[in-house]
């Protein structure tokens, strides 16, 4: 008979253990959904810049922007990859803390993601204003 390769689980002293782990998994899936949205958004930004460059070439005009959209799109894609990695690390850390009964709420990671999101949004807004003024 084959033996299970799973680690033995300590006696369940926390009646909410399953609920806590399921909540942790839902939170991780929210990280994944958000990261996918950020990656797709970055791809759209980069692809739009390429499409605009091709359109201006077809019309015989020179594109008057520096092509910053491609870099912003790539930054967004990389940000999504970092976000899903951070979500996985947070999920695993929380899982271990729940098993040990030593759960600590997230702190610095959430602050960092908030600050980076705000900065990225401000850069995009500034770039949109710059593009509008240079093309308009």
90 has pLDDT over 90: yes
What pTM did the predictor assign?
0.73
Residue 67 gets the label, from left (phi > 0), alpha (psi -120 to 50) or beta, of: left
Q: Is 102 helix (H, G, I), strand (E, B) or coil?
A: coil
pLDDT tens digits for range 93-120: 999 999 998 988 888 888 888 898 899 8
pLDDT tens digits for range 39-81: 999 999 888 877 777 777 787 776 666 578 888 889 999 999 9
Measured CA to CA in angstroms, residue 45 lies from 62, 72, 76, 103 at distances of: 20, 7, 9, 39
Q: Which residues of 87-102 are buried (b: 16+ CB within 10 A; e: fewer)?
A: beebbeebbeebbeee
């Amino acid at each position: 008979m084959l033996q299970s390769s799973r680690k033995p689980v300590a006696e369940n002293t926390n009646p909410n253990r399953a609920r806590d782990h399921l909540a942790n998994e839902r939170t991780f899936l929210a990280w994944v959904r958000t990261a996918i949205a950020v990656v797709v958004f970055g791809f759209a930004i980069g692809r739009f810049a390429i499409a605009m460059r091709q359109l201006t070439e077809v019309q015989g005009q020179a594109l008057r922007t520096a092509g910053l959209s491609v870099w912003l799109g790539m930054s967004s894609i990389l940000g999504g990859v970092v976000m899903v990695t951070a979500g996985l690390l947070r999920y695993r850390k929380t899982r271990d803390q729940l098993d040990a009964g030593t759960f600590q709420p997230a702190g610095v990671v959430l602050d960092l993601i908030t600050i980076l999101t705000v900065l990225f949004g401000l850069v995009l807004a500034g770039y949109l204003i710059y593009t509008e003024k240079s093309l308009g």
